[in-house]
A and B are shown apart, each in its own frame.
Chain A
Amino acid sequence: MKSYKADMHLHTVLSPCGSLEMSPGNIVREAVARGLDMIAVTDHNSTLQCRSVQRVAEDQGLSVLCGVEVNTREEVHCLAYFQWPDQLGEFDRLLYERLADIPNEPERFGYQVVVDEHEQIMDQPRKLLISAVDMSIEEVEQKVHELGGLFVPAHIDRMRNGIIAQLGFVPPGLRCDALEVSRHSSRQELLGQHPYLEGYAFLRGSDAHFPKDVGAGYTEFHLEALTWHEIRMAMHGLNQRKMEVR
């Protein structure tokens, strides 16, 4: 079994709150410099920046997992990861359709730009991406799974948009592939406060909005190879695959 370091949660220039320094090139450079084997691109309610980060990383020995950080109707932030571009695209279209129709005001909220590998601006989504989508957390979970993706409530220890703050506790019927604990808490601390979380798998990402924070929190995967199926097995604790919060 080999060990792989993966930052499972980070933002790019596409997130209005993400620094304009978070270009695909800068993110990949930081990730490689910090010895990460994989990063997951998880902008707010949009997956449009994933592919160009993936293309930049291709010849750098860095894997890129395409994902998104959904803000559900209950204002709970949830990470979703997808294996295939088609499913990613379908989910992206659904999110944008259900996203509240509030236009972004760049001077107030920040720029939302999709850039290519050469940092050319390709698109600027009109709607404010940090708003909530009109889908319950259960609907989001079901759709992610229907598309073969992985569903992980984000930074569950945080007061702002964490599932425990928003909903009081993790709903028993919600099929979470893992829970994310932020770098401001730990699995032990969470289990101390919420013993019912014992059976869940935990992972971590940096939630970086600035280049200096890339890799500031990460997940160490123990896998035979860095593939989608191996990652899935680690989340589900199958065949000795596992993950640890770092």
Chain B
Amino acid sequence: MIVSDLIKEFGLTTYSGEQGVDRKVTGGYASDLLSDVMGHAREGQVWITLQTHKNVMAIASLKDLAAVILVKDNAPDEDAARQSDEEGVPILGTSRQTFEMVGELYQAFRDHEIL
């Protein structure tokens, strides 16, 4: 499964980093505490959060995450979008809240035997 599969399946908005939509997805991580994500997210995961600060992108790129999904129609800060374009790690968006997005992703990952 790659990032563009998620975009299609869940109707996600692509805010930035479009060149990274063929990145492989290996799982997910949901947290709004960036220090927690720094410590515990793993390479290839999609990160579900409502934080829009530019540090989100710095951490996504540091941890080599597949993509970031911003919930509740949050859009990335300008600096975050710029860095996402530079590094090719997509920032995506949804109007769903975290619980719903995570639930749907979890089910899809199970169906695709990623988890």
Contact = CB atoms under 8 A, between A and B. Distances in A.
B22 to A, nearest CB: 27
Nearest to A162: B35
A167 B54 CA distance: 9
A168 B77 contact: no
B35 A164 contact: yes
Main secondary structure of the interface of B (DSSP, over half): helix
Interface in B47-105: 51-55, 58-59, 77, 79
Contacts of B35: 164-168
Given A166-B35, A167-B53, 17 more contacts: A74-B51, A74-B53, A136-B53, A136-B77, A137-B53, A165-B33, A165-B35, A167-B34, A167-B55, A168-B35, A168-B37, A168-B38, A168-B58, A168-B59, A171-B53, A171-B55, A173-B79
A169 interface: yes
A71 to B, nearest CB: 14
Contacts of A165: 33-35
A97 to B, nearest CB: 20
Interface string A138-168: 1000000000000000000000000011111
B77 A166 contact: no
Nearest to B59: A168
Interface string B30-44: 000111011000000
A70 to B, nearest CB: 15
B84 to A, nearest CB: 16
Interface in A126-142: 136-138
Contacts of A74: 51, 53
Contacts of B77: 136, 138
Contacts of A166: 33-35
B28 to A, nearest CB: 19
B75 to A, nearest CB: 12
A168 B34 contact: yes
16 contacts: A74-B51, A74-B53, A136-B53, A136-B77, A137-B53, A138-B77, A166-B34, A166-B35, A167-B34, A168-B35, A168-B38, A168-B55, A168-B59, A171-B53, A171-B54, A173-B79
B64 to A, nearest CB: 15
A167 B56 CA distance: 8
Contacts of B54: 171
A55 to B, nearest CB: 39
Contacts of B33: 165-166
A136 B79 CA distance: 12
Interface in A52-74: 74
Contacts of B52: 136
B53 A169 contact: no
A164 B77 CA distance: 19
Nearest to A72: B53
Scoring A138, A166, A168 by chain B CB atoms within 10 A of each residue's CB, the highest score goes to A168
